[in-house]
Structure 1
């Protein structure tokens, strides 16, 4: 029993292998594609200045309720938040994703199943005297809906979508001192997940990137797609695309 425990502990520390065509550290991150939109913007304001100018959030009340790195959305800010969430859910449904609303508390083994203990170990919020953690991303819930099940090939791929608030301590995170809506302890996210046959995973990943970019193109937001090199890959990732806005 001790040997089995030690073996499990060791194997759980082995990261995923990068896909063969993933850029090497020497090559660095690779620009895949970009979309440019030119807008007649009169002022060059930071997002923090825009938040204050339009009174989208109330920083003082945020701190009063929960301290720093939380946000109280108000008025137009609250309307905009939910409009974007509803737009994404509606568009994803049209594009063939099955919508879910899942619990915001998950058991430890659910986090382990999706590699979140490796990715967010120092940033998880755990409820005292329980096995519950606050959800760091709805990816955990969506993937674990199908744990311990055998799926029929004819039902694949499964295209899943869920909105949730996400909770992260953001300890030692890059940019943690940024103000506004960056590196919050609680933020809002619409998550897309595909469960696919292994041989189709790269092809389906490309489709996933297209679906994620759909909203940026719909709203005419300039962005670019970067493929991360070996050094930048997360613990569980074989291939990662970052969409930089």
Structure 2
């Protein structure tokens, strides 16, 4: 959430940066400022009235001590009138504060100065590419045929049990999922990330804290009777570990990693681009999160990008890194890099990770702060990245490594899986 004081002091810059994100409701900026003006006016009136009450109450005591009961009684009547006047002011200030907050949460985070202008994914910048695209034979098939051939995933059974977008992993397919999760967690913890196993449902305060509410309310599964939300990513519960927390400066950075299933209602349209594992309602992912000193967050995001790039290199997958344009960025992000792997049998790039710097947008909602050397509390910055999302990693791994005798697994994964190939 943006801070009102920052908006007031940098109104033109805020409007300029919102335009980079193609935000269509820029008028909210001035609405917020006008509401804040009204809030301050009412608050000043309330404070002045309360000051008069306090002063008069003190004077009543002095009059009583001096024996001037008549003067004291007269002043008591004035205090009673002032008290009747101050309560509606307090209520009005509270009401305006709520409206102001409701307006403020509709403003997205401001994109960093390095974010390119643009409206669609076609406007994203390719930062770099790595790995080699495999040359497949004419007999090569997409992953949904491979998973059926090798009995790795049963999509129809998932539809029977739950619905479309909920695959059932069986046999070696289930083992491959487990191997990838274990490898990703080992890789992250070796880099200093502390592992968590969080709840897979969160309350509304947690979803609000990381920006899923109110922006993505319709995209989450909601357990209405209890008010819980199924998590769209481990970022939500893990970042909330430090909600309403004041950290010591020397505790930063905080590095966390977690595995979780992810639940998303917006599975998208039908067609070849969403077949198989390309887009699901439920999938598995390993996440990395950092809470850092605000002066370090742009250094840290580059470190996180390098960390995930090395992970993809170890999986021997062709990849590319994109810097997202303003129109393709998320609501809460100030800067986002996407990682895509090349799926040879589909001849297309598949997104497998997003790494984002949220600056203080999340931590302002979370009230996650640190105490600086002068004893003042300051907002931290938060960042997160997928390390990695499994479905499209599996899709590209199966397609790129298929051969006449089976599917060859990356060397780094073979000890986790227990063999070097998936065969019939």
**Residues 170 and 183, structure 1, Cα contact 8 Å, conserved in 2:** no
**By how many angstroms is 1:55 displaced?**
1.5
**Residues 106 and 215, structure 2, Cα contact 8 Å, conserved in 1:** no
1:9 matches 2:105: no
Mapped partners of 1:164, 1:204: distance in 2: 23
**Residues 118 and 235, structure 1, Cα contact 8 Å, conserved in 2:** no
Mapped partners of 1:153, 1:175: distance in 2: 49
Cα distance, 1:89–1:179 mapped onto 2, change above 3 Å: same
Query: What's 2:265 paired with?
Result: 169
Match for residue 150 of structure 2 among 54, 62, 79: 54
Alignment coverage as a number of residue pairs: 244
Q: Per the alignment, in what secondary structure is the counterpart of residue 212 of structure 1?
A: helix
**By how many angstroms is 1:161 displaced?**
0.2
1:35 matches 2:125: no
Q: Per the alignment, in what secondary structure is the counterpart of residue 145 of structure 1?
A: helix
Mapped partners of 1:196, 1:94: distance in 2: 19
Query: What's 1:23 paired with?
Result: 116
Moved more, 35-44 or 65-74: 35-44
Mapped partners of 2:260, 2:212: distance in 1: 16
Mapped partners of 1:174, 1:158: distance in 2: 38
Mapped partners of 1:125, 1:149: distance in 2: 28
Q: Per the alignment, in what secondary structure is the counterpart of residue 335 of structure 2?
A: coil
The structure with more helix, counted as a fraction of residues: 2
Moved more, 144-153 or 173-182: 173-182
Moved more, 74-83 or 162-171: 162-171
Gaps in structure 1 of 5+ consecutive residues? none
Deviations 1:149-207 (A, max 9, x none): 11112121111100000111116x36687221122111100011111111111110111
Alignment of 1:54-203 (within 5 A): 54-170=150-266, 173=268, 178-203=274-299
TM superposition outliers: structure 1 runs of 4+ over 6 Å = none
Normalised to the residue count of structure 2, the TM-score between the two structures is 0.55
Q: Per the alignment, in what secondary structure is the counterpart of residue 180 of structure 1?
A: coil
Normalised to the residue count of structure 1, the TM-score between the two structures is 0.93
Which of the two has higher C-alpha Rg? 2
**By how many angstroms is 1:107 displaced?**
0.5
Higher relative contact order (CA 8 A, sep 6+): 1
